[in-house]
Structure 1
Amino acid sequence: MSDLQASRNSLMKMLSGSFSNQQQAFDNPPLYAHIVVRFRPAPQLAPGSLLLEQAYAIAPNEPYRICVLRPWICPERGLVILNFNIRDGQRFGGAVDDPERIAEIQEDDLLLLEGCTYLVSAADNGFEGTVEPGCRCVVKRKDRTTYLVSSFVLHPEGMETIDRGYDPDTHEHLWGSIAGAFRFTRTGDWSGEIPEHWLH
């Protein structure tokens, strides 16, 4: 197994779980909403496919973000995370808690989000990644078209993320973190659900 394959496997395992920024939200309620982020393997899809749901803790089964992320080895760019939209994704809201509903998602439901691939590198005991440059990761927010600038640091205990949206013409910061990174603690582990054949 190559170093890149080993890194991809570690990234898959480290992502597969649930995360919460409860402590940060309680400590700084004006600045940080309480958010839960959950990544769960979708074994019927191509290797590496993780269903991602991101929701406010008061409504965990009504995610405001639902997609499929897929750690991948790209010949030109090394370790990356591909980002897929799910057609009519809201019909799968809350599926992250129900493997039978996850199993209903098919490869044909996925649409690769151009410009939204994360470029990933190994960091201290974990990984760090940023959305590829070019301002092409388009996100609709409150009827406005914006582009996403996003980064993360992932480690065994949790992760830190920064997501910000900008105006494509003026590059004005329109939404997202003002006070710094969201700090998530791992609250659950689904790495045991990764199919064995994904790891080879």
Structure 2
Amino acid sequence: MSLSPELLTLGQYFAGEFTNQQQALADPAWYVNLCLWHRPVPLFTHDSLTFYAEQANVHKRHQPYRPRLLRLRQTQSTPLSLQVEYYQFHDIDWVKGAGQNPDILTQLTPENVKPLSGCTLPLEVRSTESGELSFHTLNPTRQPCSFNYQGNEYQVFLGFVATAQNLQVYDKGINPQTGQALWGALMGPYRFSKTQDFTADLPIS
């Protein structure tokens, strides 16, 4: 299956290192100054562009956290219809730090990850006033993603809006017992701007 122009555009928006420095300086009470890495990885290339993602406090770049895999995918039934699938790693410690050390990812195989059940979101493609594309995750039920790690249950609300200029991330952790948001985008999305471009690493010809 050839990749659609829409999927290729989203991949170009995604590939890079990002920061929300401007937002953090304007509202430090609610937004930590973060680095966010989206490193392209050559997995599921027949219908997808897949990214290793992790983040770190800008003052603690040596302590990255939330390693995960995002698979931006064309659906089999309708290639123009896009979705994002989230994956977790069997061994988080092995892959942690790959945002800054992408050589770790050369050993990555599908066996190192597993899809998060219920963590697939459709994507809506829109056109901006300038004629560029924007991509919006959809979650009609507003239900968080639930998964188990090392015997503990976790819930996270996932979502983003990607444009050529910025990436808005709505991820936030949810208390499974109370439904209360605990961390992340508690007061609205984190607003990231790209500081390094990794599009040259996309596994496309």
Establish whether TM, by shorter chain, passes 0.5. yes
More moved, 65-74 vs 169-178: 169-178
Per-residue deviation at 1:113? 0.6
For 1:41, the equivalent position in structure 2 comes to 40
More moved, 98-107 vs 17-26: 98-107
TM-score normalized with structure 1 length: 0.84
Task: Show structure 1 runs of 5+ residues with no match.
Answer: none
Per-residue deviation at 1:132? 7.0
Distance in 2, Cα, partners of 1:92 & 1:19: 19
**Counterpart contact for 2:144–2:155, Cα < 8 Å:** yes
More moved, 49-58 vs 91-100: 91-100
Map 1:98-177 to 2 at 5 A: 98-123=101-126, 124=128, 125=132, 126-131=134-139, 133=141, 135=143, 137-138=145-146, 145-177=153-185
Could you say if the C-alpha distance between residues 75 and 169 of structure 1 is closer, same or farther in structure 2, counting changes exceeding 3 Å? farther
Aligned residue-pair number: 194
Task: Show structure 2 runs of 5+ residues with no match.
Answer: none
Distance in 1, Cα, partners of 2:29 & 2:152: 24
Distance in 2, Cα, partners of 1:53 & 1:190: 15
Could you say if the C-alpha distance between residues 132 and 140 of structure 1 is closer, same or farther in structure 2, counting changes exceeding 3 Å? farther
Per-residue deviation at 1:111? 0.5
What's the Cα RMSD here? 2.7
For 2:64, the equivalent position in structure 1 comes to 63
**Counterpart contact for 2:144–2:158, Cα < 8 Å:** no
Answering whether residue 14 of structure 2 is matched by residue 15 of structure 1, we say yes
TM-score normalized with structure 2 length: 0.82
1:107-153 deviations in Å (ceiling 9; x for gaps): 11010011111221112232111457473612679x97442222211
